[in-house]
Amino acid sequence: MGYVTTAQFAVAEAFRTEWGKVVAHLIRVTGNWDLAEECAQDAFTKALESWARDGVPANPAGWLKTTARNRAYDRLRRESLGQAKFRQLAVTAPFTGDAGADADDSGIVDDRLRLLFTCCHPAVAREAQVALALRTLLGLTTVEIARAFLVGEETMAKRLVRAKHKIRDAAIPYRVPPALQLPDRLVGVLAAIYGLFNEGYGASGGVELIRVGLCDEAIRLGRLLAQLMPDEPETQGLLSLMIVHNARRRARIDSSGELVTLEDQDRSLWDGAAINEGCALLQTALGQPRRGPFTLLAAIAACHATAPSPGETDWVEISRCYDQLFRMSPNPVVALNRAVSIAMADGPASGLALVDELEESGELSDYYLLPATRADLLRRIGRMPEAEAAYRRALELVPTAAERRFLERRIAEINEEG
Amino acid sequence: MRYVLFVCNDEADQLTSEETEARYAAYVACEDEMRARGALITRERLRPTSASTAVRVTNGDLVIADGPFAETKEQIAGYFLVEAKNLDEAIDLARLIPAAHHGTIEVRPVWDM
């Protein structure tokens, strides 16, 4: 025990908090994504040895950045990657070795934000966007990312390489987009992070359990974004939404791997501290003049998470949020959720009318939650044979085994009661 | 950096003479804007693929065939060669092209040799 362990602990901690900063900084300085990752890796390896021998430096981040940057400088000089490249480098980065020159310490845009926006540039393949962000910003290995996305390691490695080459060859700029483009582009970044979260959250039980890690990684990215862009209410809204959903994670699946609906969940299993954190973030987002879709979704999630029992849920407030959401983005999934909230606020009959309307429109004809919702409302009204038919229709469309078993249980219940 | 902006659209689109005139005026305006930004190197409009000939050399033999190389719904109808600082700037030029509204603009970086 003692020194070595302390150093190892410090390196592990630095890896968690500083990896993204080092990589993001090196990409800006060298313009070379592969070199940046390799030199960051070298710096952390060197830290293990050096910090054990000389003690942990006062500013580990600065030490790592300087070490990685010097390593990049050495490699470029030795390998002489081309005279032009070297000149360009010399112009953009005077290698003073002065950690004080780091941009993120001086109030200028954080390099990690540049990195995140570049990874999530719409010209980068959608399937590669968050994968690349996990690799470069959070330091996940290709194997870890491949496992999380349920693809082979080789497939994921190719995907990452292709994305990096696209960024280089098409000259996707390494920057936070200018004000005019920022709202659109921020939506893309938020959607990518939320997509990552849902990949993990939608997965449930058994072989898919490993994907739960995706929720944590999405929250880490969300935290980073909210911290880097504190004045954008939607960054707080998204983070709040993910944290509150995640707080209910343990109650969503019972001990036998079955899906438990919100109203049947054991609320004592919810993570109260996380819910409080999510609600505090929501208040920050609500304090801003504009209200975006993620903030509204977060407000809805908070209504559910703060209700002591299902019967005490503030459905009037929830349906009000869905109204706003529907006006903002009138898509059929929002319409369906709005119908559910109205059913809860005003009674199942009013909700059913809206669901029937949606069904007649032919939209969502392949979406199992449409017949499943209809079935649930019919059941509440007591129209059991119609409810059963709708449950059976939902069964034909249901994507996961846990959700399938849930529908089958409902049908069994109807038959028992009848 | 130089980028080629390929103008791809459906040749089967039928335009009235007023629409053709309006389209022509829109292209003139687009070119003027690109020139004003100092971005336009050159641009060409291509005749329809019915005038296209495919050429191949197989085992030393010249093989000539009628028609475009690839049968797709959208065909390359022309191109702009532009100078742009990065992809975002090239995209800003591509969106000026009238065909962006009814076809697709493919933005391809030039391989500097």
Tell me, rounded to whole angstroms, the distance of Cα A34 from its chain centroid.
Answer: 24
Contact A367, A333 (CB under 8 A): yes
Domain CATH number, residue B20: 3.30.70.1060
Please provide the size of chain B in residues. Answer: 113
Q: Do A172 and B86 touch (CB under 8 A)?
A: yes
Q: How many domains does chain B have?
A: 1
- Does residue A222 register a pLDDT over 90? yes
B92 interfacial to chain A (CB closer than 8 Å): no
Domains and CATH numbers, chain A: 3-96 (1.10.1740)
Would B38 be classed as within a structural domain? yes
Mean of pLDDT over chain A: 87
Contact A136, A37 (CB under 8 A): yes
This prediction's pTM: 0.82
Contact B91, B103 (CB under 8 A): no
Q: For A30-55, what is the mean pLDDT?
A: 94
Would B34 be classed as within a structural domain? yes
Residue of B nearest to A169 (CA): B109
Residue of B nearest to A172 (CA): B87
The reported pLDDT for the residue numbered A263 is 86
Q: What is the pLDDT of residues B77-102, one digit of tens each?
A: 999 999 999 999 999 999 999 999 99
The reported pLDDT for the residue numbered A418 is 61
Would B85 be classed as within a structural domain? yes
The reported pLDDT for the residue numbered A25 is 94
Would B6 be classed as within a structural domain? yes
| φ/ψ of residue A259, rounded to 5 | -75, 135
The reported pLDDT for the residue numbered A203 is 60
Mutate which: A85, A120, A172, vs B, most B CBs within 10 A: A172
A366 versus B41: which is more confidently predicted? B41
Q: Which amino acid is at A81?
A: L
- Cβ-nearest to A169 among B85, B88, B109: B109
- The complex scores an ipTM of 0.87
Contact A322, A335 (CB under 8 A): no
- Does residue A313 register a pLDDT over 70? yes
- Does residue A102 register a pLDDT over 50? no
Residue of B nearest to A122 (CA): B88
Confidence of residue A406 (pLDDT cuts 50, 70, 90): confident
Would B69 be classed as within a structural domain? no
Would B8 be classed as within a structural domain? yes
Instruction: Tell me which residue range forms the domain holding B12.
Output: 2-46+74-109
- Does residue A104 register a pLDDT over 70? no
Would B61 be classed as within a structural domain? no
The reported pLDDT for the residue numbered A107 is 45
The reported pLDDT for the residue numbered A93 is 45
B87 interfacial to chain A (CB closer than 8 Å): yes
**Torsion over CA of A161, A185, A16 and A231, rounded to 10 degrees?**
170
Q: What is the pLDDT of residues A193-209, one digit of tens each?
A: 998 898 777 664 444 55
The reported pLDDT for the residue numbered B78 is 96
Mean of pLDDT over chain B: 93
- Does residue A283 register a pLDDT over 80? yes
Q: For A361-380, what is the mean pLDDT?
A: 91
Q: Do A172 and B91 touch (CB under 8 A)?
A: no
Would B100 be classed as within a structural domain? yes
- Does residue A15 register a pLDDT over 90? yes
